[in-house]
Structures are given as C-alpha cells and as structure tokens.
Amino acid sequence: MAHIGWLRVLSVLFAALALIFTGAHLLELPHKIGMSAADYLTVQQIYRGWQFAGIAVIGAIVSLAWLGYAARNDHRVLVPALIALVCILGTQALFWLFNYPANRATDNWATLPADWETLRTRWEFAHAASAVLNLIALVALVVGWLGPQRVPTRQSDKKARRQLELQEVER
C-alpha cells in the first residue's frame, strides 16, 4: 500500500522531531544538575515556548497509531511501529508523572519551593529517560524500514518451487 510509505516517513519525521527536544535536555543535564538556585532559574527560562514541542509528540502518536493500523497485517512494519508507539507513549507517562508536576510546583521554574532540588532531579532525569525512549522509537522505525523487505518462509519457498516446476512441465 502506497500510504504505508508516507506513514513511515511521517512517523520517522515526528519521532526525530520529538527526540530533538528531549535530546537537548539529556545533553544539558550534566551541566545543569549541580547549578545554584539562581543560575538554575535563569537557565530554565530558555524553555519558554517549548510547549509547542507537544505538536511533534502528538504527530508521532497519531502517525504511529495510523501506521500500526494500516500495517496490521504486515509484521515487518507493525512491530517497529508498535515499539515506537509504546516508547512515545512512555515519554508522555514520564512527562505527566514527573515533569508536569514539577512545572506546576515551580510556576514553570519561575519560583523555587523548598524542595526545588528534588523537583529538579525528577524533572531532569524524566527528560533524560524520555530522550532514551525517543531514541529507541526512532531506531526501531529506521531498523524496521531498512530491514529485509520480505523474510522468506519455508512455505513460501515451497510455493515458489512448485510454481517453477509447473512452469517447466507446461513447456
């Protein structure tokens, strides 16, 4: 089906876009985790407007679910799509369990409550875990796309041999 090709492209695109944001958090983590309160508040302001990253996540979820449905009879496409979908949904679980509560408790890192260091640790490491999940999603999709186009089975080999035999007999 031609639309599966486009769904694969969209799924890879959105998975890659989702990885950009969480990947940035992962790469920043070693430099931010030990910052003073004042420095951390200042640096956290660079994330203003990043709520639009959610568009990439929504795009990934929709395109992966659609791809999974469209490829439900083709395990070569379905399995990587499901792995990627579970990973992307996992990033959402992490966000809503750890990142969103920290954002609310700090008014999006405009103020620091007494337990701010605990919130920072949860916030930073949840984003790091999301980056790993986004990377797994992207790798699953790419490996699935680059994998063998058709894995021959013994039964399909028998059918192919039988067709050849029939063609030889007909000559």
The per-residue pLDDT for range 125-138, each reduced to its tens digit, is 999 999 999 999 99
Instruction: Indicate whether 161 pLDDT > 70.
Output: no
Instruction: Indicate whether 113 pLDDT > 90.
Output: yes
Q: What is the distance between the alpha carbons of residues 34 and 21, in angstroms, rounded to a whole number?
A: 21
How many CB atoms neighbour CB 98 within 10 A? Answer: 20
Q: What is the CA radius of gyration of the chain?
A: 23
| Buried/exposed code over 21-60 (b: 16+ C-beta within 10 A; e: otherwise) | bbbbbbeeeeeeeeeeeeebbeebeeeeeeeebeebbebb
Look at residue 3 in the predicted model and tell me its pLDDT: 85
The answer to whether the CB of 21 falls within 8 A of the CB of 56 is yes
Q: What is the distance between the alpha carbons of residues 114 and 11, in angstroms, rounded to a whole number?
A: 41
Instruction: Indicate whether 148 pLDDT > 70.
Output: no
Report H helices in the chain. Answer: 2-32, 37-44, 54-70, 75-94, 100-105, 116-146, 154-170
Q: What is the distance between the alpha carbons of residues 110 and 62, in angstroms, rounded to a whole number?
A: 33
Using 50, 70 and 90 to split pLDDT, how confident is the model at 50?
A: confident
Instruction: Indicate whether 11 pLDDT > 90.
Output: yes
Which span out of 22-36, 137-151, 156-170 was modeled with the highest average pLDDT?
Answer: 22-36
Instruction: Indicate whether 43 pLDDT > 70.
Output: yes
Backbone φ and ψ for 128, nearest 5 degrees, come out as: -65, -45
How many CB atoms neighbour CB 147 within 10 A? Answer: 12
- DSSP letter for 111, please: S
In Å, what is the CA distance from 61 to each residue of 25, 76, 85, 86, 123? 21, 19, 6, 9, 22
Domain locations in the chain as residue ranges: 2-170
How many CB atoms neighbour CB 115 within 10 A? Answer: 11
